[in-house]
Chain A
Amino acid sequence: GENVEQHPSTLSVQEGDSAVIKCTYSDSASNYFPWYKQELGKRPQLIIDIRSNVGEKKDQRIAVTLNKTAKHFSLHITETQPEDSAVYFCAAGGTGFQKLVFGTGTRLLVSP
């Protein structure tokens, strides 16, 4: 089955800095890679996703890159703000009836 590893487990940055979170996956059949943000005491919510036919996707201050050959994908947050502080999860999955497997999460702390 799919196995997803995520690094770092915690990340502290100053407001305005960039933050990068990296994930690797094991199943070459996976073709869908979402990122979820979970604020304290709340549910995980999708912030951006990418499919295997795309190498990069941007949405304002966040971007995701995918390297299918190396089986890794990354989340990039630029100009971080205190409200970006949360736990971020990557996940890997595919089409068909298949579960999403989540990474272990990264706790991002953005200090003013």
Chain B
Amino acid sequence: DTAVSQTPKYLVTQMGNDKSIKCEQNLGHDTMYWYKQDSKKFLKIMFSYNNKELIINETVPNRFSPKSPDKAHLNLHINSLELGDSAVYFCASSPVEGGTEAFFGQGTRLTVV
């Protein structure tokens, strides 16, 4: 069974649209993350979230918002998509204690046209 799964794998959409990427983990982890990987392959954290606290990277536009319906899910909502949002978005999870392996989803390649 896939430990961290994201949907969709590919997403092509027009500028100005609103879209969501879903993430689910079946590892029982308390902490989930969203990372953005740009064309230069830089992996930048966007959000860290557990059931108590959300940490937002201050460089992330407020058009991006995480939504967690429960401990096993952390979805990413993006409003008013821009060309520069095109990237691969990775969801990840790790135990709340931290200091251990983060498991990544397979990534969602978002293309804004």
What residues of chain A have their CB less than 8 Å away from a CB belonging to chain B?
A: 31-32, 34, 38, 42-46, 49, 51, 87, 89, 93-102, 104-105, 107
Interface centre among B43, B55, B106 (most CB of A within 10 A): B43
Is B111 among interface residues, defined by CB-CB distance under 8 A?
Answer: no
Set of chain A residues within 8 Å of B41, measured between Cβ atoms:
38, 87, 104-105, 107
Taking a contact as CB atoms under 8 Å apart, the answer to whether B100 and A32 are in contact is yes
Closest residue of chain B to A32 (Cβ to Cβ) is B99
Set of chain B residues within 8 Å of A95, measured between Cβ atoms:
97-99
Taking a contact as CB atoms under 8 Å apart, the answer to whether B48 and A97 are in contact is yes
What residues of chain B have their CB less than 8 Å away from a CB belonging to chain A?
A: 31, 33, 35, 40-45, 48, 50, 52-53, 55, 90, 94, 96-102, 104-107
In the complex with contacts A44-B90, A45-B104, A99-B55, A32-B42 CB distance below 8 A: no
Once the chains are docked, how many angstroms separate the CA of A93 from the CA of B92? 14
Interface centre among A42, A93, A99 (most CB of B within 10 A): A99
Closest Cβ of chain B: how far from A85's Cβ, in Å?
Answer: 14
Interface centre among B98, B99, B107 (most CB of A within 10 A): B99
Once the chains are docked, how many angstroms separate the CA of A107 from the CA of B96? 31
Looking at chain B's contact residues, is the secondary structure mostly helix, strand, loop, or mixed? loop
Set of chain A residues within 8 Å of B35, measured between Cβ atoms:
102
Partner of B50, one of A97, A101, A104: A97
Closest Cβ of chain B: how far from A33's Cβ, in Å?
Answer: 10
Once the chains are docked, how many angstroms separate the CA of A49 from the CA of B18? 38
Taking a contact as CB atoms under 8 Å apart, the answer to whether A100 and B45 are in contact is yes
Partner of A43, one of B44, B97, B105: B105
In the complex with contacts A34-B101, A43-B90, A44-B90, A99-B45 CB distance below 8 A: yes
Closest Cβ of chain B: how far from A63's Cβ, in Å?
Answer: 18
Closest residue of chain B to A44 (Cβ to Cβ) is B104
Taking a contact as CB atoms under 8 Å apart, the answer to whether B98 and A94 are in contact is yes
Taking a contact as CB atoms under 8 Å apart, the answer to whether B101 and A101 are in contact is no
In the complex with contacts A43-B90, A43-B104, A43-B107, A98-B98 CB distance below 8 A: yes
Closest residue of chain A to B94 (Cβ to Cβ) is A100
Once the chains are docked, how many angstroms separate the CA of A93 from the CA of B90? 18
